[in-house]
Amino acid sequence: MMLISGASAGLLSLGAIYIPSSFQNLAVPVQGALIVGHGLSGAILSGLLGKLLSDKLADTGVLSAYPVVDDVGLEA
């Protein structure tokens, strides 16, 4: 779920800067690379790194007061 939301955020950010940055004037393969690049970077930076960070925080016990730990099955 976090990968999908990260990729969506990356694509939405591209949509926000597409017209002001004149990306529509670029060649079609370059536009495709922009779309793929923004989707992948959003998925990796927001989704994957966020998931890894939250898992590491849960392992330390810092998140034991939050219900997200109960969903994962971790106990402090």
pTM: 0.69
Task: Please tell me whether residue 59 adopts helix, strand or coil conformation.
Answer: helix
pLDDT digits (tens, 9 = 90+) for 12-38: 999 999 999 999 999 999 999 999 999
Between vectors from CA 60 to CA 56 and to CA 61, what angle results, nearest 5°? 120
Predicted pLDDT at 51:
84
Q: Which of 42, 4, 38, 40 is nearest to 23 (CA)?
A: 38
Predicted pLDDT at 71:
59
47 CB contacts (<8 Å, ≥6 apart)? 2, 3, 4, 5, 6, 7
Predicted pLDDT at 76:
45
pLDDT digits (tens, 9 = 90+) for 48-62: 898 888 888 888 888
